[in-house]
Amino acid sequence: MTETPTQIEPETNATTDVPADDAAEAPANRDAEHWAKPVDRLYAGTTAMKDDAVTGKRVRGPLQGFGQLWQKSFSVRIEGVETTPEAVIATWKQHFAEFWPRGQRFYAPLSGIKPGEVGLLEIEPLPGAPVRLSTGVLVLYADAESFTFMTPEGHTLSAWITFSAERDGDVTIARAQALERPSDPFDEVAYRMGGNRQNNKFWQGTLCNLATYVGVAEPVVETQVVCIDKHRQWRHWRNVSNSATLHSARRTLTAPFRKLTGRG
């Protein structure tokens, strides 16, 4: 190894929140309480949603997905409103489901958006699709200024999505940032046939609803979408075996028979 390492210093001089006198007593990991505890299989607990397609599944992030990898950022400036990033995130956590565009449902965990909790959701995979997709998310991380969801096996996207807020001068900016791959070959086709655009509209609508709720008169959502890996991960094509789309389609098709036989 060389004897003269190169130091790359950041441009800003950030400071620690812990006073010098208290530093010795600070816990070893300041972030520990914000992360979900390790979990092998997810458990959705009690929610109002009938079809729990999440319990028993593992989480699956962008590294385990099939399709191209996309990095997306949707942000809105909370102009003309006296607020803070912490207040915006508290509002977002509390009213998360209400900010979703019409027709899409999020069943929040009963204890709220906290690390390790599981939320269930019911979405339309494509505009006008006859099947409603039942899936969910794990709250992977949550602190006062951000929270992150990770998708389970079966979700159409293998993704992490982080919701955060920060100051830019006198203005607070709310942001949703996703790192996502379609989960299997069918999801990749659906994504290219309109799922990608629909997904963008979904988060644009959500940001717009959040901004309107906190008092922004005419919210403008800035969008950045970049494909950062055009390769498909063919080694993960078998993800289709967990497809929530197929699970939901099967449930839709068999609903009349289940009703007749009383099997819900």
Partner 1 sequence: MSATVIELDQEGPASVLRIEGDVTSGSEGDLTAAYGLAVANGATAVVLDFSKLEYMNSGGIGMLVTLLVRAQRGGVRLVATGLSDHYRQIFELTRLDEAIEIHADESAAVAAAIA
Q: Is 203 in the site for partner 1 (CB under 8 A)?
A: no
Under 8 Å between Cβ of 240 and 158 = no
Q: What H or E segment, with its residue span, contains residue 158?
A: strand 157-168
Please tell me the distance from the alpha carbon of residue 10 to that of residue 2, in angstroms, as a whole number.
Answer: 22
Supply the minimum distance, in Å, between the C-beta of residue 33 and partner 1.
11
Q: Which of 47, 51, 61, 93 lies at the binding interface for partner 1 (CB under 8 A)?
A: 61
Decide: is 24 part of the binding site for partner 1 (CB under 8 A): no
261 is a site residue for partner 1 (CB under 8 A): no
Interacting residue with partner 1 among 104, 126, 143, 201 (CB under 8 A): 143
Residue 25 makes contact with partner 1 by CB under 8 A: no
Number of Cβ within 10 Å of residue 245's Cβ equals 23
Contacting partner 1 within 73-132 (CB under 8 A)? none
Three-state DSSP at 85 gives helix
Instruction: With contacts defined by CB under 8 A, name the span among 41-49, 64-72, 122-130, 207-215 that binds partner 1.
Output: 64-72
The torsion angles phi and psi of 194, rounded to 5 degrees, stand at 140, -15
- Give the CA count within 13 Å in the CB-facing half-sphere of 46: 2
46 near partner 1, rule: CB under 8 A: no
Query: For residue 213, which amino acid is it?
Result: Y
d(CA 59, CA 65): 11
**Site size for partner 1 (CB under 8 A):** 48
Contact residues for partner 1 (CB under 8 A)? 1-2, 5-17, 28-32, 34-39, 59-64, 69, 71, 140-141, 143, 146, 148, 150, 160, 162, 164, 177, 179, 228-229, 231
